[in-house]
A and B are shown apart, each in its own frame.
Chain A
Amino acid sequence: MALLEVRNLRTYFHTRDGVVKAVDDVSFDVEAGQTVGIVGESGSGKSVTCYSLLNLIPQPPGCIESGLAKFGDIDLLSLSEAGMRKVRGSRIGLIFQDPMTSLNPYLKISTQLIEPLQIHEGASKSEALERAVAELDAVGIPDPHKRIHSYPHEFSGGMRQRVMIAMALITRPEILIADEPTTALDVTIQRQVLDLIKERQEDLGTAVIFITHDLAVVSEVCDYVNVMYAGRFVERANVKAIFNSPKHAYTRALQKSIPAMQSKGKRLYTIPGLPPNLSEDIVGCAFAPRCEVKEGDPCCIDTRPELVELEREHWVQDCPGCLSARI
């Protein structure tokens, strides 16, 4: 049995402009120790999917309409806030894109780092501090005995992200959700942070849900990839299959639009049009308006295409137009 089983998750936002179906029927599994990627453009629902699992969606306007998230023998979606507090930060850790906004600038790193141990494990202050120093050492902060008493602004961006990782992993969670952890960092620091996450994951056996829009990063860190578009998964497979034999038009278009993949001098390939407005009802294939199909339009018109297992372990939205489109 998988460590985490998400089934038919639907998260809608009820706004003045109508109902925004940010996450619309999403199912996926996370096995212990695995790295599962969720890729997509901004606004495709990647973050909302993960925040729904941890009850971090502001309600209202957000509302988890349906779904099940089995984590061991508990359902994350039906947990009370008190019950969720026991899981969040202890069994499921979280790192965000921007470490400066997620660390409290008024508190020393030490205070913030020992908090989860004191709350979740009832550790004494001196014991917690000792473990915090060890954890800082493990994420490669030099001179952790001294540095633990610094404030967040005394660290560089990359170091701050290391502190975040230490904080998220200090309680030895079973799952770590990493929401664009390297997007704000430059390439060399990004490399270090990616290597660090991988290294800690191997040491601790943590499963990682990796949210990003950067396909190159996905190809390096993930075992399994979910491609998200307009609130749904359009394709899901292991990382090799996603990059070697992508099936859905959106996955192929996304890969083709990476600047590094194109030769100099030629015009860069771009996906025409914009992602659909999620507050309007989407009938048929959500990618149809941007899909470059030649004659006619074989994209689904009446019903939204279902995910089907086209090859073993390779799931794709069954839309004839998107599968046959030449990108």
Chain B
Amino acid sequence: MSYLELQNLTKHFTKRGGLLGMNFTEVKAVDGVSLTLERGEILGLVGESGCGKSTLSRLIMQLLEPTSGSVVIEGERLVDLPHSEIRKRRRDFQMIFQDPYASLNPRMTVFSTLAEAILTRHPNLASDRHSLRKAVSDLMERVGLDSRFVRKYPHEFSGGQRQRIAIARALATEPKLVLADEPVSALDVSIQSQILNLLKDLRDELDLTMIFISHDLSVVRYIADRIAVMESGKIAEVQEAEDLFKDPQSQITKTLLSAIPQIR
């Protein structure tokens, strides 16, 4: 059985316009997306801005309710579950955002950021400061941060280190599914490789299932097992990563491939 299944997932937004807001236009942000992911697989999701990548990721994360269709994780339809139940499940799927400057609380030290996340999974650690401290420093080491920096604030770190903190926070709840939304787009080339290596290692060690969203096909090619290309709310093409580069089927994939700047 596949780990994650999207069944004909659809999200329409209605936009009011015209005099007195009497005209309704429908924006089909996500329009009938079906996908399956095996456990431990990395799926790359690419497309131009505005194609619905982010809406799709919010639907998977249960941050938006789909207009129709459903998200099935390990055979369980999430739409059928009550909200309280989804809140509990949220520990199992975590997100890493593009901009670590914006997604970390500037007033919380690394320790409090990570401890808060760890406690959602292990509430009993709240009374056991020693084990909590140990869990935090283990987590920091796992993502390649020196645990001496545990009392520092996000602004004291460089961009690459901050993204590592964001990754550590996502891992703190011991998720099974990680959705990374352009996690390296804001970083320098040399730092990009470090973060990509880290994500790949973590997948191997923790058997994570990962959805990697990016507009940069060359990055996705390296990290993803399969790549799905999105265009105006629909999946235009899904292929094994290398096959997609060798033999693109859809027009949008060809456009995206030809737009990559090449070193000559």
Contacts and interface: CB of A to CB of B under 8 A. Distances in A.
A254 B67 CA distance: 46
Interface string B156-182: 001100000000000000000000000
Contacts of B190: 41, 253-254, 257, 270-271
Interface in A216-273: 216-217, 219-220, 243, 253-255, 257-262, 264, 267-271
B168 to A, nearest CB: 18
A66 interface: no
A264 B241 contact: yes
B159 A270 contact: no
Interface stretch (B81-89, B134-142, B255-263): B255-263
Interface residues of B, number: 33
Interface stretch (B7-15, B26-34, B111-119, B214-222): B214-222
A186 B48 contact: yes
Nearest to B258: A191
Contacts of A190: 259, 261
A260 B260 contact: yes
B55 interface: no
Given A156-B50, A186-B49, A188-B256, A257 B263 contact: no
A42 interface: yes
A21 interface: no
Contact of A42 (B159, B256, B264): B159
Q: Which of A186, A214, A274 has the most CB of B within 10 A?
A: A186
A274 B158 contact: yes
B242 interface: yes
A220 B259 CA distance: 12
A186 B215 contact: yes
Nearest to A268: B193
Q: Decide if the interface of chain B is mainly helix, strand, loop or mixed.
A: helix
A215 interface: yes
B172 to A, nearest CB: 24
A261 B259 contact: no
A269 B193 contact: yes
Contacts of A213: 188-189
Given A213-B189, A254-B190, A268 B261 contact: no
Contacts of A2: none
A189 B48 contact: yes
B196 interface: yes
Given A156-B50, A188-B259, A264-B221, A220 B264 contact: yes
Nearest to A267: B197
A215 B189 contact: yes
Contacts of A267: 197, 200
A194 interface: yes
A258 B48 contact: no
B48 A220 contact: no
Contact of B196 (A186, A189, A191, A268): A268
B218 A259 contact: yes
Nearest to B245: A264
Contacts of A268: 193-194, 196-197, 222
B192 interface: yes
A157 interface: yes
A15 B261 CA distance: 39
A220 B188 contact: no
A13 B21 CA distance: 54
Given A188-B259, A259-B222, A274-B158, 8 more contacts: A214-B261, A216-B262, A219-B261, A259-B196, A259-B219, A264-B222, A264-B242, A268-B197
30 contacts: A41-B188, A186-B215, A187-B217, A187-B256, A188-B256, A190-B261, A191-B258, A213-B188, A213-B189, A214-B189, A215-B189, A215-B263, A216-B261, A216-B262, A216-B263, A219-B261, A219-B263, A220-B261, A257-B190, A257-B192, A258-B263, A259-B189, A259-B193, A259-B196, A260-B219, A260-B222, A267-B200, A268-B196, A270-B193, A270-B194
